[in-house]
Chain A
Amino acid sequence: MLSVEGLDVFYGGVQALRGVSLSVGAGELVAVIGANGAGKTTLLRAISGVVQLRRGRIELDGRSLRGLAPHQITRLGVAHAPEGRQIFPRLTVLDNLRLGAYARGDGQVREDLDRVFSYFPVLAARRRQVAGTLSGGEQQMLAIGRALMSRPRLLLLDEPSLGLAPLLVRTIFTVIERIRADGRAILLVEQNARMALSIADRAYVMETGRVVLTGSAAELAASPEVKVAYLGG
């Protein structure tokens, strides 16, 4: 469904991605793990059109996304829950969620709201609250819920576990598995390699802008390099 080949991305003179290739199949949950600064976030930002490519190819079901604006890519079925949540802090929970469905005019927003509330019941209880007053975990739920409102075929999740207590991380990962079970493909970027590999089908390991290792999640979890570098031995 998503196919990425040979991506080079520069920030000014600094190269952030070096020939990155990866793919996500329909309904697949693919993880990208790696240290801070490895280029994981840049990879997601390149896919959703926020940063420009120097070289490479990004295709969604055979259609090139290169050169499209972020709002056009969203309309093609890619939703992005960005790093650090980046909810709209001065809008209510409900307005944040409705903005997620901004590009859609099919009148089934109600149904999608209900689905998001079934994933994250706490958001229903706080629907009239201003989003900036939510806790960190609730803001993460809102960021994921907001992305789901566009009914994406591919969901990009950037560090959903960032800064959250272990119990909340487990809650959120349980929901991520449910979202996948409901038929959406997910590309999950995580520093928490253990959690990511525990739910992913396949995974890529990134270091300094390159993909250095790839395989099934189980293979990677068992590989000595990954164990030493990312799973604490």
Chain B
Amino acid sequence: MSLVTYLLQQVVNGLTLGSIYALTAIGLSIVYGILRLINFAHGDVLMVGAYVALGLLGASGGNLWGALLGAAAAAGLLGVVIERVAYRPIRRAPEVAALITSLAVSILLQNAAIMIFTAHPRTFPVPAWLTQLHAVGGVLFNTLTLITVVTAAVLMVGIHLFVARAKAGIAMQACAQNLVVAEMMGIDSGRIIMLAFAVGSALAAVAGAMLGAQYGRIDPFIGFLPGLKAFVAAVIGGIGSVPGAVLGGYALGFAEILFVGLLPPELSGYRDAFVFFLLILVLVARPQGLLATGGEREA
């Protein structure tokens, strides 16, 4: 394998991993943008999405799109319920209270998953057509990878257009820029916050299903690291911004793959440490992130 082919192969791998991080980071970022809440339970919503997708794949005899749609819908609903039950009652409390609550929700979801599915990993049944290998110029990838990258890209363009153009999307931006004044405009901020949780959780579920399919198995803890890394991605990109979350997600995916792919194999066990080292570097050099959303919100 030539060096060029090898590098292109790493680009494919980076895109795949980056797609999953970027999809997850969007939900964290839009919720943070409005509520200044770091939602630690976001990764666990991803995990629930993966289990729902697994169940639907089995029940439907391998209908991938049905499983993705069902997982997105279930996770979207879960996100709305979490917001309503856990976060809304403490909306006016200090931000640290919400942070701790999100940790509690995270633990709760993990333990609920252990109770329902046990802590043992389950095989994620990937339909055979998804594992078919393709080779383009010596670069290998399977149908699943192609679908992961393209579906993620389509979803991200869609959500970006929604936030930038749709009435509810612009209202979401208004809430992020000034929640009190957005209310004065007649915007029911409670509904916009609900929408942010629904959309973000649905995207995380799609990421979870893809993650499960890529690795071939899932357990109740698979959301933890992707959730944390999506947070790193959102911060790197500039938290609060959808394009920032996408950029940060891809950047992190590529960096992680390059670290594993280019450095000696004995170092690849440090990939997670490397990701957090990267976070520290960005926070030191450019604390507002790559795509800053501008000044802090007033009031």
Interface set of A (CB-CB < 8 Å, partner B): 48-50, 69-71, 74-75, 79-80, 82, 84, 86, 88-91, 95, 98-100, 102-104, 132, 146, 150
B181 at the interface (CB under 8 A from A): yes
In contact, A71 and B186 (Cβ under 8 angstroms) = yes
Smallest CB gap from A95: residue in B:
B170
**Distance (whole angstroms) from the CB of B92 to the closest CB of chain A:** 11
Interface residues on chain B, number (Cβ under 8 Å): 21
Q: Which residues of chain B are within 8 angstroms of A80 by Cβ–Cβ distance?
A: 184
B82 at the interface (CB under 8 A from A): no
**Distance (whole angstroms) from the CB of A70 to the closest CB of chain B:** 4
Q: Which residues of chain B are within 8 angstroms of A82 by Cβ–Cβ distance?
A: 181, 184
- Per the bound structure, the CA–CA distance linking A69 and B173 in Å amounts to 20
If A69-B183, A100-B185 are given as contacts, then 19 extra A-B residue pairs at C-beta distance below 8 Å, sorted by A number, are: A71-B187, A71-B188, A75-B186, A80-B184, A88-B173, A88-B177, A88-B181, A89-B294, A90-B177, A90-B293, A90-B294, A91-B170, A91-B174, A91-B177, A95-B170, A98-B170, A99-B187, A102-B171, A102-B187
Smallest CB gap from B241: residue in A:
A90
Q: Given contacts A84-B298, A90-B294, A102-B171, are A74 and B177 in contact (CB under 8 A)?
A: no
Q: Which residues of chain A are within 8 angstroms of B294 by Cβ–Cβ distance?
A: 89-90, 132
- Per the bound structure, the CA–CA distance linking A146 and B171 in Å amounts to 14
Q: Given contacts A88-B173, A102-B171, are A50 and B183 in contact (CB under 8 A)?
A: yes
**Distance (whole angstroms) from the CB of A59 to the closest CB of chain B:** 19
In contact, B298 and A150 (Cβ under 8 angstroms) = no
Overall SS of chain B's interface: helix
In contact, B188 and A99 (Cβ under 8 angstroms) = no
Q: Which of B167, B178, B184, B187 has the most CB of A within 10 A?
A: B184
Q: Given contacts A99-B170, A102-B186, A150-B186, are A70 and B180 in contact (CB under 8 A)?
A: yes
B295 at the interface (CB under 8 A from A): yes
**Distance (whole angstroms) from the CB of A163 to the closest CB of chain B:** 15
B9 at the interface (CB under 8 A from A): no
Between-chain CB contacts (< 8 Å), 26 pairs: A50-B183, A69-B183, A70-B180, A71-B186, A74-B186, A79-B184, A82-B181, A84-B298, A88-B174, A88-B178, A89-B177, A89-B295, A90-B173, A90-B294, A91-B174, A99-B170, A99-B174, A99-B182, A99-B185, A102-B187, A103-B185, A104-B186, A132-B294, A146-B185, A150-B185, A150-B186
